[in-house]
Amino acid sequence: MCFAFDAHPPDLPSDLALPTLAGGAAAESLQLTSADGTRFSAALAEAPEATGGPGVVILPDVRGLYRFYVELAERFAQAGHHAIAIDYFGRTAGTGERSNDWDYMPHVVKTRVEQVQADTAAAIAALRERTGASSIVTVGFCFGGTQSFMAATSAALDLDGAVGFYASLVPRREGAPDPIAHAPETRCPVLGLFGGADENILPEHIESYERGLQGAGVEHEIITYPGAPHSFFDRSFSEHAEACEDAWRRVLGFLQQVGASLAR
């Protein structure tokens, strides 16, 4: 698990939030249907004053969709980007909110990249239908960061960019995704954000992933925050406030760059 059940995403830097949206933009709970007929939960936050930049599909950690990611979608809307956060476990756990103590790991091990990408495709379609977003970037955390990097290799999804926070880069179980092996297949710009004190994501993993991107000529930026742990992007981690603010600036800057490159 990444964040505590009652964790909250860091606030946007004050100069990056649209002044008219100081109170945020409330997310709407949805149920979407994947290509295989699976119903799954999602949360959509529309930006009342969109910047014209990419829409965002948020890929959560192993717990799936819970309040942290609903609020994160609202933060992106507050910054002018329509955003939708999805749940992974409609096939095995159904839809709707789950308790703090639910046993998510038996469901995590049953997920497959192609299923996550099918659900992501359904979320992209809903985001475009509701908001008119023409370009799409995935932003994922931990398990979702891994899935974000894998989504960047998908011709079917045809993403315009992918962001991964502390993404696991080597498979830790049979059937788990392997971003390092698939890095040369990446089809869009990538932003990777890691904690230097993360004991599970080693510097050599990050270096191997970056080498794969470089060898394939993929536009990318990889940032490691010294001393920051796994899941540092959390309002309660006041000692990592600078890393959180820098991460926000880099993510929103990445979205701006993606939008600008597509406009040329």
Reported as a single tens digit per residue, the pLDDT across 170-189 is 998 877 899 999 999 999 99
Q: Does the residue 174 lie in any domain? A: yes
Which position has the higher pLDDT, 8 or 42? 42
- Does residue 201 fall inside a structural domain? yes
pLDDT of residue 20: 52
List the domain range (segments joined by +) for residue 103.
Answer: 27-263
173 is a domain residue: yes
Residue 161 lies in a domain: yes
State the average pLDDT for the chain.
Answer: 93
Interval 102-135: pLDDT, tens: 999 999 999 999 999 999 999 999 999 999 998 9
Residue pLDDT, tens place only, 222-257: 999 999 999 999 988 788 999 999 999 999 999 999
Distance CA 77, CA 73 (A): 6
Whether residue 66 lies inside any domain: the answer is yes
pLDDT of amino acid 22? 46
pLDDT for the residue numbered 52 = 79
Least confident of 141-145, 206-210, 238-242: 238-242
* 8-state DSSP, 16: G
**Contact 258/160 with Cβ under 8 angstroms?**
yes
Residue 54 lies in a domain: yes
pLDDT at position 19 is 61
Q: What is residue 161's predicted lDDT score, i.e. its pLDDT?
A: 98
The structural domain count of the chain equals 1
Answer whether residue 83 is part of any domain. Answer: yes
**Other Cβ atoms within 10 Å of 85 Cβ, number:** 30
- Tell me the CATH number at 228: 3.40.50.1820
Distance separating alpha carbons of residues 14 and 21, to the nearest angstrom: 11
Tell me if 83 sits within 8 A of 77, measured CB to CB.
Answer: yes
d(CA 236, CA 240): 9
Whether residue 5 is contained in a domain is answered as no
The amino acid at 34: S
pLDDT tens for each residue of 10-68: 989 988 876 654 444 689 999 999 999 999 999 999 998 777 789 999 999 999 999 99
